[in-house]
Chain A
Amino acid sequence: MADKKKRRRPADPDSDSIPFKSRLKPDSVILQALKALAAAESTPSASTNPLTLADLSLSQACREVSDLPLSSVQSTIESLVLSLTHSILSGQGLSFSVPSRSSANQLYVPELDRIVLKDKSSLRPYANVSTVRKTTITARILQLIHQLCLKNIHVTKRDLFYTDVKLFQDQTQSDAVLDDVSCILGCTRSSLNVIAAEKGVVVGRLIFSDNGDLIDCTKMGMGGKAIPPNIDRVGDMQSDALFILLVEKDAAYIRLAEDRFYNRFPCIIITAKGQPDVATRLFLRKLKTELKVPVLALVDSDPYGLKILSVYGCGSKNMSYDSANLTTPDIKWLGIRPSDLDKYNIPEQCRLPMTEQDIKTGKDLLEEDFVKKNPGWVEELNLMVKTKQKAEIQALSSFGFQYLSEVYLPLKLQQEDWL
């Protein structure tokens, strides 16, 4: 691999001037360290069973949804509709009992390292001016899902919205009710056969089958393979990767994909281009559980980078009812960490001052349980709030566009500098 690089840029006169380049050891040494990490990852997880909510005897009752087969979704809807029909025929109108998804009804479980829902729920009666719309939308969504079950097809959230624009009015309403319906039925959103448009991409040392087609992610060109929205049709994962590199941004992802970083250090590179969607989170979880390789994250050094990390790690507030299937535990924060700014002498002009809002978000994050459980993260976040500086991954480009793939990441890996 090193030979190849030399061939591309023979007799590089600048190589000495690139900071920290001289500290890099040969790739083989770095690979040794990575192999040790991967080995450590695969052994203990095989012995201990993952904890579930039922294993813990929590004081409060908690709600979780599970993947249900299509037939049981169908019968759940049918029995619900029958009970509604009885209620209407007896002249009592109808009402849904909807589990509350508000933040007041959420709970962080440290043992599981994710957010779950408590068991509070609210009544959604038809004969009330404030809830009549939502009740109607709920019934309509139920009917649409029932149709999907009968026909056994997948549709996107957008499709669902366009079936009755006049009633739904805007997509946020139908989307919100869709999540409510998941909770009512006690199943994951993907088992409703409703998918979100694909947003995430993956590239690297991974072969899997998507709806029967075999995909080799090393041969997907620069853009990579779009992460399929219906995870249930993904299978047969094979890989010789030593780790998964989770990238926050498209720009950094393209750099790594073009430089074929995964050939130098066998890895799988994945990004959701900002806030992760459900499909990417599901895919990452599947990768991690099936391949048993460590996940390293490369995010911006700002509160939002950490927030994105938290969504992968312990779930978003909005989808907390399904946190069991969506979260990937034990993600390691590789970079760019606030301490890296000085460690790598990132020039002043590439650092941005944090706004009032940033600082507030940072301080709020310090109160979050998922940050608190990792003392290293608390330290880094404290440093960020103290220095009031943030930097994007692109700040590394000030040393050259390829600095990220050729110096920064190898050095980080060599030093095993992750938290």
Chain B
Amino acid sequence: MEIGESSESPEGKKKSKSKTPRKPKDSVLKQKSPAEFFADNKNIAGFDNPGKCLYTTVRELVENALDSAESISKLPIVEITIEEIVRSKFNSMIGLAEHERVDEELYDDFESAKAREKRLAKEARIQEIQAKNANLGKKVKEPVASKAMKGRGETSYYRVTCKDNGKGMPHDDIPNMFGRVLSGTKYGLKQTRGKFGLGAKMALIWSKMSTGLPIEITSSMKGQNYTSFCRLDIDIHRNIPHIHVHEKQDKKERWHGAEIQIVIEGNWTTYRSKILHYMRQMAVITPYAEFLFRFLSDAPDKNVTVKFARRTDIMPPVPLETKYHPSAVDLLLIKRLIAETSKQNLLQFLQHEFVNISKSHAERLIGEMGPDFSHKMLVKSLTSQQIVRIHQLFRQAKFDDPSGDCLSPAGEYNLRLGIIKELHPDMVATYSGSAQVFEGHPFLVEAGVSVGGKDVKQGVNIFRFANRIPLLFEQGADVVTRTALKRINWNSYKINQAQDKIGVFVSIVSTKIPFKGTGKEYIGDDISEIAAAVKTSIQQCCTQLKSKILKRIQAREQQERKRNLSKFVIWLNGAIYDVLKEMSHLHASKRKRYTNEDAEVLNKVSNHIITRETLGEKLAQHVEQVDYEMALEYATQSGVNEEPRENIYIQTLEGESKFVDFQSPVFVFRLFQ
């Protein structure tokens, strides 16, 4: 993993390479620094195009900020600001003079004579039609301002600032934390938000590639009486930080955390909704955090300010670093563990460096390995063959499943709160499964299903979270999407898949999320353990919802029963009375004979004693009686069956405010001014 240390390319070689004339056949052995590799393959870290780069930069900064605050168990407050910088402003920023275009034909958006002719003809035609319409007195539609096709020119420059209230960084570590790819604090086996451990470094590489401007970091830790300020960029070829300024400044306010500012090329117009979705979903899964998102530009109508308020102060525990499960390790990993271990002999090594191996278990394992192995043998003296033997045994032997204790799920409570807070659904159900295992890594699935709500589209809306970060791209192939759309029979839960506004939230946490695809944007559908866990979780939610929905339907039926029953009286008594009337005619004309009781009825009909109305009245009475009986039955059945109460979270007030107290023997009513 720590390729960063080992593969620095020698300077001299680089230079000689660049000077050699181009000989295509001649293949020269080249070496790449990790930074160079990621600069060339930035798409694998989510930096595909300027728009996506802006999005990924925001998310990396936000996730770092959350991790930082959570690591010191502080309720996170994250402020993120994107400031648009138009080209002219950017040029003046870097001291580049504005250039007028001299040779127009050189540019992509140059309009050739032929194209202009075409455009003018089209405009003339449109005007003609409009004039015609105006003459005919038709309402003239405002000509749609033809959208200037800027194409690639749409990208612009953005200053992204992210401020948190986290741990901050030690003054001396700052350059390496940002200026060296693949060096980080998050390596090790535990549930982490980041996908590659690239984070802000990748953003820095992108800024270096697109704007050339350095990153600015301001940081302060608890108990420090100064603020660290650092301006740096990265030497991509050597994978080392290139420091402009690194100084300690006077602390002006009581603050700890970090503020990172970076200028990159991006595209706000195309990725606006993605970024806002990301923030919203982040707010769903972390309701204990407060987010302030701002977009600033020269055009005030384009500005966006969204505040996602905190709704709870219960934070999930910090994920614990755990040891490897024997069935999850590979050969290389065993070697690395051997190199790093402080334990002397094999027995201790097995017992302490892995989970689920007790002392007696380790002894049995060593016995099984063969005569070459003994308890007391030095672990560092193991030969390659012996390590292979250990690896093979790990693969074949049966071990207990790892426990999910090291995981930090969002928690059913938080998930529920998040859904309620951001979607305001009519109904919501959540479920948290127990930890399960896939290839030696524990995972845990939590799910929520909501029905109704504001800003929710009809049909199934899917919200995916992996290790408590939202996944927004490549939804189609994801295990959650497939499960929700194909394997859940919504009808059986009285939910209409096409018309109800269904929200499906699935959060999967694991020490290793089995991502698919280069961008690590989705979890494959081929892992049966995860697919089954996702399905059961969603089904559990649906079952909870079903009882609620049924109750609601029942209650509605209660209210509407009388109306529904009475609605049909007119038809029914009409039908019956018509037949009776025809019969009474037949009876009167003596064409048909009826027996005494029936004859009596028919006589009454012909004498208008029994009319349509009498039949209707009798029916209505019957309906009334049945309705009363059923209402009584319903009331005794359901009883006083209220929903369980939920705690509400009241936000703490900031700062000191003036208030007036109204005293009463029972309570105090405090009015804030």
Contacts and interface: CB of A to CB of B under 8 A. Distances in A.
A77 B579 contact: yes
Interface in B581-608: 582-583, 594, 597-598, 601
Contacts of B579: 77-78, 81, 142-143, 146
Interface in A113-171: 126-129, 132-133, 135-136, 139-140, 142-143, 146-147, 150, 164, 167
A136 B567 CA distance: 10
Given A78-B583, A85-B615, A127-B565, A93 B623 contact: yes
B539 to A, nearest CB: 26
Contacts of B622: 88, 91-93, 126-127
Nearest to B605: A85
Interface in B210-262: none
B589 to A, nearest CB: 13
Contacts of B561: 129
A56 interface: no
A252 B455 CA distance: 57
A129 B564 contact: yes
A138 to B, nearest CB: 9
With most chain B CB atoms within 10 A of its CB, the pick from A82, A92, A133 is A82
B626 interface: yes
Given A78-B583, A150-B582, A133 B568 contact: yes
B255 to A, nearest CB: 64
A219 interface: no
Contact of A136 (B568, B580, B614, B626): B568
Interface string A90-107: 011110000000000000
Given A129-B564, A136-B568, A84 B582 contact: no
B557 interface: yes
Nearest to B565: A132
Given A85-B615, A93-B622, A132-B565, A126 B572 contact: yes
With most chain B CB atoms within 10 A of its CB, the pick from A78, A88, A93, A129 is A88
Contacts of B583: 78, 81-82
Contacts of A92: 622
A93 B619 contact: yes
Given A85-B615, A143-B576, A146-B582, A136 B571 contact: yes
A143 B623 contact: no
A78 B557 CA distance: 34
B626 A127 contact: yes
A88 B623 CA distance: 11
B318 interface: no
A2 interface: no
A140 B576 CA distance: 8
A233 interface: no
A360 interface: no
A89 interface: yes
Contacts of A136: 568, 571-572, 575
Nearest to B626: A127
A25 interface: no
B575 A143 contact: yes
Interface in A287-301: none
Contacts of B565: 126-127, 129, 132
A93 B626 CA distance: 9
A153 B571 CA distance: 24
B626 A84 contact: no
B614 to A, nearest CB: 8
Nearest to B624: A127
A156 B579 CA distance: 21
A91 B579 CA distance: 20
Contacts of B621: 91
Given A82-B598, A85-B576, A140 B571 contact: yes
Nearest to A136: B568
Nearest to B602: A82
Nearest to A84: B576
Nearest to B560: A129
A88 B615 contact: yes
B618 interface: yes
Contacts of A139: 571-572, 575-576
A139 B564 CA distance: 17
B32 to A, nearest CB: 52
A140 B575 CA distance: 5
A92 B615 CA distance: 12
Contacts of A133: 568
A20 to B, nearest CB: 50
Contacts of A146: 578-579, 582
Contacts of A126: 565, 568, 572, 619, 622-623
A169 to B, nearest CB: 12
A81 B622 CA distance: 18
Contacts of B614: 89
With most chain A CB atoms within 10 A of its CB, the pick from B572, B598, B610, B615 is B572
A150 B623 CA distance: 32
Nearest to A150: B582
Contacts of A82: 580, 583, 594, 598, 601
A94 B571 CA distance: 14
Interface string A26-49: 000000000000000000000000
Contact of B610 (A89, A91, A143): A89
A104 B401 CA distance: 48
A86 interface: yes
Contact of A132 (B568, B578, B618): B568
A88 B568 contact: no
Contact of B572 (A79, A135, A147, A150): A135
A139 B571 CA distance: 9
Given A85-B615, A132-B565, A127 B576 contact: no
A79 B579 CA distance: 11
Nearest to A164: B571
A132 B564 contact: yes
Contacts of B571: 136, 139-140, 164, 167
With most chain B CB atoms within 10 A of its CB, the pick from A84, A91, A139, A142 is A139
Contacts of A164: 571
A81 B574 CA distance: 12
B620 to A, nearest CB: 10
B332 to A, nearest CB: 46
A88 B582 contact: no
A161 to B, nearest CB: 15
A89 B618 contact: yes
Contacts of B573: 88
A229 B340 CA distance: 92
Contact of A142 (B575, B610, B623): B575
A132 B568 CA distance: 7
Nearest to B567: A132
A217 B572 CA distance: 47
A143 B577 CA distance: 9
Interface in B375-423: none
Nearest to B557: A129
A147 to B, nearest CB: 8
B610 A81 contact: no
B617 to A, nearest CB: 10
Interface of A: 77-79, 81-82, 84-86, 88-89, 91-94, 126-129, 132-133, 135-136, 139-140, 142-143, 146-147, 150, 164, 167
Given A147-B582, A150-B582, 8 more contacts: A78-B583, A81-B583, A82-B580, A86-B597, A126-B622, A139-B576, A140-B571, A143-B578
3 interchain residue pairs of minimum CB distance: A127-B626, A93-B622, A143-B575
Interface of B: 557, 561, 564-565, 568, 571-576, 578-580, 582-583, 594, 597-598, 601, 610, 614-615, 618-619, 621-623, 625-627
29 contacts: A77-B579, A79-B598, A81-B579, A82-B580, A82-B594, A84-B576, A85-B576, A85-B601, A85-B615, A88-B619, A88-B622, A89-B615, A91-B622, A93-B619, A126-B568, A126-B623, A127-B623, A127-B626, A129-B564, A129-B565, A132-B568, A133-B568, A139-B575, A142-B575, A143-B574, A143-B576, A143-B579, A146-B582, A150-B582
